C-alpha cells in the first residue's frame, strides 16, 4: 500500500506539471499548495493509519 501511494502521488504531480507546462491548464502549484496543504497532512495520516505495521522477528 505504501509503495502504491507514493507511485500514485508521483503520477498525479507529474501529470499536473506536464499539463501546466503544455498550457492546457493555468493553475499555479504554489497557490494550490498554499490553499490545500492541510489535505496533504490528512492524506499522509490516513495512509499511515491504513498501512499495517510489519512485525519484526528476532
Structure confidence by residue, pLDDT tens digits, 9-48: 888 888 988 988 899 988 887 888 788 888 888 888 887 7
Residue 41 included in any domain: yes
Q: Give the residue numbers spanning the domain of 35.
A: 26-51
pTM equals: 0.53
* Predicted local confidence at residue 13, as pLDDT: 85
Residue 40 included in any domain: yes
* Predicted local confidence at residue 24, as pLDDT: 92
Residues 28, 35: Cα–Cα separation, whole Å: 11
Strand segments, DSSP code E, in the chain are none
Residues 44, 29: Cα–Cα separation, whole Å: 19
Residue 21 included in any domain: no
What is the total count of domains within the chain? 1
Read off the C-alpha cell for 42. Answer: 490528512
Residue 1 included in any domain: no
* Predicted local confidence at residue 43, as pLDDT: 82
Residue 55: pLDDT band (50, 70, 90) is: low
Query: In the chain, what is the greatest distance between 2 CA atoms, to the nearest angstrom?
Result: 55
Residue 39 included in any domain: yes
Amino acid at each position: 500500500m505504501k509503495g502504491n501511494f507514493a507511485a500514485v502521488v508521483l503520477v498525479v504531480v507529474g501529470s499536473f506539471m506536464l499539463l501546466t507546462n503544455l498550457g492546457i491548464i493555468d493553475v499555479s502549484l504554489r497557490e494550490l499548495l498554499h490553499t490545500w496543504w492541510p489535505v496533504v497532512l490528512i492524506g499522509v495520516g490516513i495512509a499511515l493509519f491504513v498501512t499495517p505495521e510489519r512485525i519484526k522477528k528476532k
